[in-house]
Amino acid sequence: MPHYLPDTTLAQGAFESHDPTGAVVPPIHLATTFLRPPEGYSQTGWSYSRYGYPGLEQPEATLKALESAAECRLFSSGMSAMTAVIMALKHGSHCVFPIDMYHGMRTWLRQYAARQGMEITHVDMTDLDQVRAAVIPRKTAVLWAETPSNPHWYIYDIAALADIAHSAGARLVVDNTVATPVLAQPLSLGANIVVHSATKYLNGHSDVLAGAAVTAKVDDFWEQVCFNRDYHGGVLGQFQAALLMRGMRTLHLRVGRSCQSAATLAAECLRHPKVEKVYYPGLPSHPGHDLAKQQMRGGFGGMVSILVTGGSAAADRVTTRTRIWKPATSLGGVESLIERREAIETNSHVEPNLLRLSVGIEAVSDLIDDLWTALG
């Protein structure tokens, strides 16, 4: 497709109607199987929906364009995409992960590594010396960065990590869920593979579970990731693909609004007497602020975390008193969510009084009033 600016790519949704009805959005084909011509399938032909179906083309082409990728594959969840990447590694590989990252992936890794003979090292990824010390040349297969990272929104230096990974013969994989391709394009900074929980901002309406992986290059490793999706059955369903595409068309607007509101909220929280600390990369006090200014464009994301005075009980009370902020897990939807992270994370390293705020697209003055009332 022609190279448009991201807003145009998203609004158009990589779609040109060839439908005889002239429909401006593609139909949903529910077929799981497709007629087999006697001469066999052409290269682009569909055979069985576990290997792909027409409705994947549009969202995969859109995300591929946004991430400036060689290929994109959509999965049934973010975890399905991320585990497909790790399971593409050779037995006995070593991988380096950040300490601050999505806890579900950390939990799965621990189990998987113990059973499958994979070695994992978690480091403070803001400290590049720690990363260099952890990497074992020709044994480390993957450096994994989630940036901004859950739930402190630390910023990891993608270009520097790519250099470290490549000089050791490893790949850099970046979880770009929180930044979204609107704010950051890790492949252009040297990452090899980017993964997403498309359940979050890409869909944006808290009604689809989906994941994505995109690659800078089609190589044997990527072919193995695709094989894992097709043969483990991790492909995204037809309805979910259509809903995801509908959600993505407003990604740019939603992310822009969330970023603006998050920046306003974070600055206000700094002044609140019951807030001990604010984690937001848009604040000059955040340790990743300068790097975020270089690495992200158009905003610092829609996620803010705060430490509330009075410990975990006080933080829990806040989540029961908000009316607009809904006490629920997840992030990146149009509605704002609040959660005390330690309560839901396995093996958590998170402060007991940390509240994670996913800033939606409501009026920011209402969001602030609601939080202020709940803080008391």
- Residues annotated as catalytic (active site), given as ranges: 50, 102, 175, 200
In the list 67, 100, 175, 339, the residue contacting ligand PLP (rule: CB under 6 A) is 175
Q: How far is residue 23 from each of residues 18, 239, 374, measured CA to CA in Å?
A: 8, 17, 47
Distance CA 236, CA 75 (A): 5
Q: Which residues contact 271 (CB under 8 A, 6 or more apart)?
A: none
Q: Which is nearer to ligand PLP, 46 or 201 (CB)?
A: 201
Torsion sign (Cα): 37, 42, 45, 51: positive
x/- binding map, residues 65-84, to ligand PLP, per CB under 6 A? ------------xxx-----
Q: Residue 146 interacts with ligand PLP (CB under 6 A)?
A: yes
At residue 30, what is the residue type?
Answer: L
Q: Residue 370 interacts with ligand PLP (CB under 6 A)?
A: no
Q: Which of 129, 182, 176, 179 is nearest to 6 (CA)?
A: 182
List phi, psi (to 5°) of 48: -150, 135
Q: Residue 197 interacts with ligand PLP (CB under 6 A)?
A: yes
CB 212 within 8 A of CB 198: yes
Q: Which is nearer to ligand PLP, 102 or 325 (CB)?
A: 102
Residue whose Cβ sits closest to ligand PLP: 78
Q: Residue 211 interacts with ligand PLP (CB under 6 A)?
A: yes
Please report, as residue ranges, which positions from 292 to 331 form the binding site for ligand PLP (by CB under 6 A).
330
CB 106 within 8 A of CB 59: no
Region from 151-159, 170-178, 319-327, 337-345 binding ligand PLP, contact rule CB under 6 A: 170-178
Q: Residue 60 interacts with ligand PLP (CB under 6 A)?
A: no
Please report, as residue ranges, which positions from 81 to 120 form the binding site for ligand PLP (by CB under 6 A).
102, 104-105
178: left (phi over 0), alpha (psi -120 to 50) or beta: alpha
Region from 171-179, 218-226, 301-309, 339-347 binding ligand PLP, contact rule CB under 6 A: 171-179
CB 293 within 8 A of CB 307: no
DSSP state of 188: G
Task: Kindly state the smallest distance separating residue 197's Cβ from ligand PLP, in Å.
Answer: 3
- Residues lying near ligand PLP in the complex (CB under 6 A): 77-79, 102, 104-105, 146, 150, 175, 177-178, 197, 199, 209, 211, 330
